[in-house]
Every structure is written in C-alpha cells, then in structure tokens.
Amino acid sequence: IERCAAALAEVPQIVAVGVNCCAPHHVEGLLGRLRDATDRILVAYPNAGERYASGQWCGRRRSAAEFVALAERWLAAGARILGGCCRTTPAHIAALHRWRASLPPAT
C-alpha cells in the first residue's frame, strides 16, 4: 500500500487516497501506513464486516453502533472522509453522520 500511495502522490490531480471495500478491522492499520506514505487526504470506506465467498455473504455484519465506534478510531488515525461500501446500510451511514455532526469542525 505504501508503493501505491507513493505512485499516486506523483499525480497532482489526486487529492485523496484511502481504503475501500475491506473489512472494518483492517482500516486503522492501513490508514496508519497510508498516513506515513502520503500527504494526501485520507479516506475510509470499508464494508460492514461480512465477506463474499463461494457466491454468498458470510461472517458477521457490524452494527451501526459498532461501525461508528470503529470510525472514531479511523478519524484518530487520520481519515477525513468517512463512509461505507458493501453491506453497509442507510442505518450505518445515518449513525456515522449523527456521530460526525456531534463533533467540533475539523481543522
């Protein structure tokens, strides 16, 4: 991921880099690696925790509250754009929005 971030840093039109469509528990570590490799804005858009294998979803979907608890760590790790992809629901995104709206403005 560091090599990817370094390559993207050479493209002036790219203003942000991030992690997408991965399990939520991988995000914090990946953001740390990106933070050390780039000066671009960091993005976190993980899935809800399930994985797709053999044509079906398996594993456990994180609740909206669990997703927000993890998002607090992603923000602390440097992410400035937050969201969700596969298997996140409107409830996940609404909870993320309510939590973020309760924080002071980012600097």
Nearest-angstrom CA–CA distance, 104 and 14:
27
What was the pLDDT predicted at 72?
Answer: 96
pLDDT tens per residue, range 3-51: 999 999 899 999 999 999 999 999 999 999 999 999 999 999 999 998 8
Residue 101 burial (CB count, 10 A): 7
What was the pLDDT predicted at 22?
Answer: 93
Tokens of 33: 């690696």
Nearest-angstrom CA–CA distance, 35 and 43:
11
pLDDT tens per residue, range 51-65: 888 888 888 889 999
Measured in degrees and rounded to the nearest 5, phi and psi for residue 5 equal: -60, -40
Q: Taking Cα atoms as reference points, which of 65, 78, 66, 71 lies closest to residue 35?
A: 78
pTM for this model (two decimals): 0.88
pLDDT (average), residues 82-87:
94
What was the pLDDT predicted at 107?
Answer: 61
